[in-house]
Structure formats: structure tokens, C-alpha cells
């Protein structure tokens, strides 16, 4: 008897292997071995582990095609032992990384933003590559001014990428020859003034970030037009050392009046900024916007109807965290001179050479710390009726007039 609990069965001695006959209340005798249960459990776990391991490895080879460094590193020993090592067919390198990921995916927003938030930490790029500008169109449906944009982009392949966010039910149908062909990203409903508008903008940024060649990110609407030839806009943005987003402190009811004290202490009323949503950002700030999980919930919860989150979230967040990197102005011109809640919408009758020259020639801004350069690259809002006169004037404002070195201006 080794334990007091067996005292009630003094007539049954222990077996030589350590097992004992024991009897629960009202049950027949049962042979119980202290070591056997442990051995059986151990054996069961070993078998289960082997089965799970085999299934895992066979599935891994589906997700990591032969040649992926992960599989070849972690399994080469195992494969060598099995005498069936497969030589990798394709290596991961900076080129394959830069080629990026497809925009035709079914990732959730959370998956997409997480993937897009990844950024190299090491300075410089070890390979030759041409930086691109991501043109991100936020529209409900059609792009009536597409022919003008086609003309603008024509002949500049490799220097830009296009992304279009529409109403989720709208199918952007473009011919294969179009720069917009298959450039529609997986979209969701977006309401003006609502956080869903910021979600759409972050969705555009995240999809554009999947292409590692994109260096600058410009948000446009279906009523926007380009004001200069492509090479001028390209150089202007690629050589700019700041990001272009309107961010100002408006003490009135439509500025600080929309501030909600529940956002404090993270966001104070002094730090509250306003600006139009039509931004242009450098890659590092685009990454910051899709990575933000601190400010976003504050705006989602406390910048509610009457606040217009799309006019405050990006300017406020970027000003607080990255103020010195901002130009605090937009490169997209808009006309508020007619008054009211919305800027002027131009019609076909407004479009003259003098009208366009007037917007193009505005020079009251700084560029890389210097005055006197171009201020506006794009303009809004242009109705579909402006297409014909704009296309007629295109040779005057969209066709290249020699190369312009912006640094000298
Ligand atoms: C995307 O598609 C795959 C395969 O059809 C599916 O397993 C996955 O759950 C989908 N993801 C989402 C977020 O819908
Ligand atoms: C823009 O505003 C921020 C403060 O919000 C400031 O740090 C920065 O210097 C300003 N940029 C320019 C070009 O004035
Ligand atoms: C951009 O360049 C100007 C002129 O050199 C400089 O004053 C400014 O601080 C620079 N801005 C940034 C964000 O580096």
C-alpha cells in the first residue's frame, strides 16, 4: 500500500509492474497502472503531432511555391534527408519585390492596410529604378474627362500608375488601349463628410502602396483636370521635398467649431486643422496614413455629422505628427469666389485660353522653400461639358514645351 486512498482494499496487493486493482463505488475491479496512462497519452500526442506536421508541410508547399526562400531554408534539411531536394526556380530579389502586388485581390481593408503599411527601413534603393506617380481617382462612377487624361498620360508609360475607386456597384468599362483599363480597385460605398470617405482614400493609398515604384500619391476626382504637360507635373512632384496638403487653423464655426473636446488630450483644439481632401503625398507619409491606428478611432468616434471628417482627419493627423514635411497647401486649384457651401463648377462656356492661363500662372506660393514657381498642377471642378473645349485647347496647355528644370525657376 503506497497511498492511503487504497486502504479500503487491503486484500488486493499491487502487481509487480506497479499496476493495481482498484474499484470505484459500485464498479468492478479495474487494473490501473500509473505509468501506462502517461505512456498512452505521450504516444497519442506523438501520433497527432506527426499527422498535423505532415498536413502542415504539404499545405506549406501550396502557399510557398518551390523556390521561395522560406521553404528552401526551413525545409532543405528535411528534403536532403528525403533525398528529394528541389532546386529553386526563382529567387526573391529587390526587382521581384519592387514589381509589387496585384490590385485585383479580395483582401479585407484590415488585411490590405496591414500589407500596405510595410516599408523598408534601410536608406537608399540598391537597384536602378524609375520612380512613378500614383494618380488615384476617387469617383462615384464614370470618368467623363477621361479622354483629356488619356492625352495627358499618352507616351509616358512607366512613369505613372492609375487607381480608380468607384461606387462598389459601378463597373468601369474601358477599352484595352485605355490607361484606365483594369485599374479599378475593390471599392466600397463612400459618403461625403463621412468616415467612409477617409476609408476610400486610405483604400486607394493602400492599393497604390502595393507598387513599390510609386513615390508620390495624388488624389483626384472625376471633375479634376491637369493644368500642365505630364513631364512638368512629373518633375514638379518627384523633385518636391514636401507633401502637398491644405492644412490651416480656421478659428470660425467651420474650423475649430467642429472640434470635439472628447478628442483631447491626443488632439487639442490648437492642433485642429482643416483642409480640402485633395492631397498629394510623398510615399513616407502615405505609409503613415495607412498605418495610423491611433488618430483614426478618435475621428471615427468623435468627428460625427456636422464635423466632415474628410476635411479634418488627414490635415490634423499629418500636422501634429509630421508638420515640417507639409507644404500646407494643395496643388489642386479650386474656385471658392462664387460663395456657398460648394466650390464653383465650371461649364463648357467658362473654358477659354485666358481662363486656363489665369489658373496656371498663379505664383503666390513656395516650392522647395523658393517663391515664384508653379503653384497649381491640377484644377477642379469641371463638368462633362468642358471636355470638348478642353480637348481643343490641349495642344496649348498639355503638350510639352521643352523641358523645364524646376530647380532653376
Ligand atoms: C478571398 O478568397 C479566398 C479564396 O476564394 C478565400 O479563402 C478568402 O476567405 C477570401 N478573403 C476575403 C477577405 O474575402
Ligand atoms: C506647415 O505647418 C506646420 C505646422 O502645422 C509647420 O511645421 C510647417 O513648417 C509648415 N510648412 C510650411 C512650408 O510652412
Ligand atoms: C525643403 O527645402 C527647403 C529649401 O532648401 C527647406 O527650407 C525646407 O526645410 C525643406 N523641407 C523639407 C521637408 O525638407
In this predicted structure, what is the pLDDT of residue 50? 63
Q: Is 6 helix (H, G, I), strand (E, B) or coil?
A: helix
In this predicted structure, what is the pLDDT of residue 408? 37
User: Strand 370-371 relative to strand 366-367: parallel, antiparallel, unpaired?
Assistant: antiparallel
| Average pLDDT rounded to a whole number, residues 142-146 | 97
| Average pLDDT rounded to a whole number, residues 126-154 | 95
Give, rounded to a whole angstrom, the gap between the first and last alpha carbons of the chain.
Answer: 101
Residue 80 pLDDT more than 90? no
In this predicted structure, what is the pLDDT of residue 128? 87
In this predicted structure, what is the pLDDT of residue 73? 46
User: Cα of 331 to ligand 3 centre, how many Å?
Assistant: 17
In this predicted structure, what is the pLDDT of residue 372? 80
- CA distance linking residue 145 with residue 387, whole number of Å: 6
Q: How sure is the predictor about 336, in pLDDT bands with cuts at 50, 70 and 90?
A: confident
| Average pLDDT rounded to a whole number, residues 256-285 | 97
User: Cα of 277 to ligand 1 centre, how many Å?
Assistant: 32
- CA distance linking residue 86 with residue 81, whole number of Å: 12
Best mutation site among 102, 106, 108, 203 for ligand 1 pocket (most ligand atoms within 8 Å of CB): 106
Residue 76 pLDDT more than 50? no
* Integer angstrom CA distances of residue 88 from 65, 97, 196, 325, 399: 9, 17, 44, 44, 48
Respond yes or no on whether the N-terminal peptide bond of residue 250 is cis (omega within 30° of 0): no
E-strand ranges in 139-271 read 160-165, 214-221, 225-226
| Average pLDDT rounded to a whole number, residues 293-316 | 96
Best mutation site among 255, 328, 365, 375 for ligand 2 pocket (most ligand atoms within 8 Å of CB): 328
SS (H, E, C) 293-354: CCHHHHHHHHCCCCCCHHHCHHHHHHHHHHHHHECCCCCEECCCCCCCCCCCCECHHHCCHH
**Other Cβ atoms within 10 Å of 183 Cβ, number:** 18
| Average pLDDT rounded to a whole number, residues 405-409 | 42
Residue 404 pLDDT more than 80? no
- Which strands make up the sheet holding 214-221, listed edge to edge? 160-165, 132-138, 214-221, 280-282
What are the grid coordinates assigned to 60, written together?
506549406
| Average pLDDT rounded to a whole number, residues 102-116 | 95
Of the listed ranges 6-10, 20-24, 193-197, 261-265, the one predicted with least confidence: 6-10
In this predicted structure, what is the pLDDT of residue 129? 86
| Average pLDDT rounded to a whole number, residues 251-267 | 96
pLDDT digits (tens, 9 = 90+) for 214-245: 999 999 999 999 999 999 999 999 999 999 99
pLDDT digits (tens, 9 = 90+) for 359-372: 999 999 999 999 98
- The full set of domains in the chain, from first to last, is 36-92 (no CATH), 101-408 (3.90.550)
Question: Could you please report the per-residue DSSP string of 139-172?
Answer: -SS--TTHHHHHHHHTT-TTSEEEEEE--TT---
Q: Is residue 146 a contact partner of residue 180, using CB atoms and an 8 Å limit?
A: yes
Q: Is residue 110 a contact partner of residue 188, using CB atoms and an 8 Å limit?
A: no
Averaged confidence pLDDT in the chain: 84
- CA distance linking residue 132 with residue 99, whole number of Å: 12
Percent of the chain whose predicted confidence (pLDDT) is above 90: 67
Which protein residue has the closest C-alpha to ligand 2 atom 3?
A: 323
Global confidence as pTM: 0.79
| Average pLDDT rounded to a whole number, residues 387-405 | 81
User: Strand 332-333 relative to strand 225-226: parallel, antiparallel, unpaired?
Assistant: unpaired
Find cell 536602378 and name the residue: 128
Residue 292 pLDDT more than 60? yes
Cβ < 6 A, ligand 1 pocket: 106-108
**Other Cβ atoms within 10 Å of 344 Cβ, number:** 15
| Average pLDDT rounded to a whole number, residues 130-149 | 97
Residue 189 pLDDT more than 70? yes
In this predicted structure, what is the pLDDT of residue 403? 45
Q: Helix axis angle, 313-322 relative to 295-302, nearest 10°? A: 150
Residue 81 pLDDT more than 60? no
Q: Is the CB of 240 under 6 A from ligand 2?
A: no
User: Cα of 208 to ligand 2 centre, how many Å?
Assistant: 26
Residue 353 pLDDT more than 90? yes
Percent of the chain whose predicted confidence (pLDDT) is above 70: 75
Q: How sure is the predictor about 62, in pLDDT bands with cuts at 50, 70 and 90?
A: very low
In this predicted structure, what is the pLDDT of residue 93? 80
In this predicted structure, what is the pLDDT of residue 35? 52
* Integer angstrom CA distances of residue 84 from 57, 79, 81, 87, 91: 14, 6, 8, 10, 19
**Other Cβ atoms within 10 Å of 38 Cβ, number:** 10
Residue 53 pLDDT more than 90? no
Q: Is the CB of 328 under 6 A from ligand 2?
A: yes
In this predicted structure, what is the pLDDT of residue 334? 93
Which has more confidence, 68 or 152? 152
What are the grid coordinates assigned to 58, written together?
504539404
H-type helices in 303-364, by residue range?
313-322, 353-360
Q: Is 114 helix (H, G, I), strand (E, B) or coil?
A: helix
Residue 380's nearest CA partner among 348, 357, 346 is 346
pLDDT digits (tens, 9 = 90+) for 164-177: 999 999 999 999 99
Residue 180 pLDDT more than 90? yes
| Average pLDDT rounded to a whole number, residues 62-67 | 44
Amino acid at each position: 500500500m503506497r497511498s492511503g486512498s487504497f486502504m479500503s482494499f487491503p486484500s488486493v496487493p499491487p502487481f509487480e509492474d506497479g499496476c493495481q486493482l482498484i474499484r470505484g463505488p459500485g464498479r468492478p475491479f479495474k487494473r490501473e497502472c500509473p505509468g501506462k496512462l502517461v505512456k498512452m497519452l505521450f504516444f497519442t500526442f506523438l501520433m497527432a503531432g506527426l499527422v498535423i506536421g505532415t498536413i502542415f508541410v504539404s499545405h506549406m508547399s501550396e502557399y510557398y511555391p518551390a523556390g521561395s526562400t522560406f521553404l528552401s531554408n526551413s525545409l532543405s534539411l528535411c528534403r536532403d534527408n528525403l533525398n528529394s531536394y528541389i532546386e529553386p526556380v526563382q529567387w526573391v530579389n529587390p526587382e521581384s519585390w519592387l514589381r509589387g502586388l496585384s490590385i485585383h485581390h479580395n483582401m479585407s481593408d484590415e488585411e490590405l492596410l496591414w500589407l500596405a503599411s510595410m516599408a523598408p527601413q534601410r536608406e537608399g534603393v540598391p537597384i536602378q529604378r524609375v520612380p512613378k506617380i500614383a494618380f488615384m481617382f476617387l469617383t462615384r462612377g464614370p470618368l467623363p474627362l477621361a479622354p483629356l487624361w488619356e492625352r495627358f498620360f499618352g507616351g509616358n508609360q512607366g512613369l505613372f500608375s492609375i487607381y480608380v475607386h468607384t461606387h462598389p456597384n459601378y463597373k468601369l468599362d474601358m477599352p484595352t488601349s485605355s490607361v484606365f483599363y483594369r485599374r479599378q480597385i475593390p471599392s466600397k460605398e463612400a459618403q461625403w463628410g463621412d468616415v467612409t470617405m477617409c476609408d476610400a482614400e486610405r483604400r486607394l493609398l493602400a492599393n497604390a502602396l502595393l507598387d513599390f515604384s510609386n513615390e508620390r500619391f495624388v488624389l483626384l476626382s472625376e471633375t479634376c483636370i491637369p493644368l500642365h504637360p505630364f513631364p512638368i507635373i512629373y518633375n514638379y512632384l518627384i523633385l518636391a521635398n514636401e507633401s502637398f496638403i491644405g492644412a490651416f487653423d480656421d478659428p470660425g464655426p467651420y474650423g475649430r467649431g467642429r472640434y470635439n473636446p472628447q478628442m483631447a488630450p491626443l488632439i487639442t483644439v490648437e492642433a485642429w486643422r482643416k483642409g480640402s481632401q485633395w492631397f498629394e503625398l510623398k510615399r513616407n507619409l502615405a505609409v503613415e496614413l495607412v498605418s495610423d491606428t491611433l488618430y483614426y478611432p478618435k475621428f471615427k468616434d468623435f468627428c460625427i455629422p456636422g464635423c466632415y471628417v474628410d476635411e479634418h482627419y488627414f490635415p490634423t493627423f499629418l500636422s501634429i505628427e509630421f508638420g515640417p514635411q507639409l507644404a500646407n497647401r494643395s496643388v489642386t486649384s479650386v474656385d471658392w469666389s462664387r460663395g456657398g457651401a460648394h466650390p464653383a463648377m465650371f461649364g463648357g462656356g467658362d473654358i477659354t485660353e485666358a481662363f486656363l492661363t489665369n489658373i496656371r500662372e498663379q505664383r503666390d506660393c513656395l516650392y522647395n522653400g523658393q517663391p515664384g514657381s508653379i503653384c497649381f498642377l491640377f484644377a477642379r471642378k469641371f463638368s462633362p461639358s468642358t471636355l470638348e473645349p478642353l480637348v481643343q485647347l490641349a495642344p496649348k496647355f498639355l503638350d510639352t514645351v521643352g523641358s523645364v528644370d524646376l530647380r532653376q525657376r
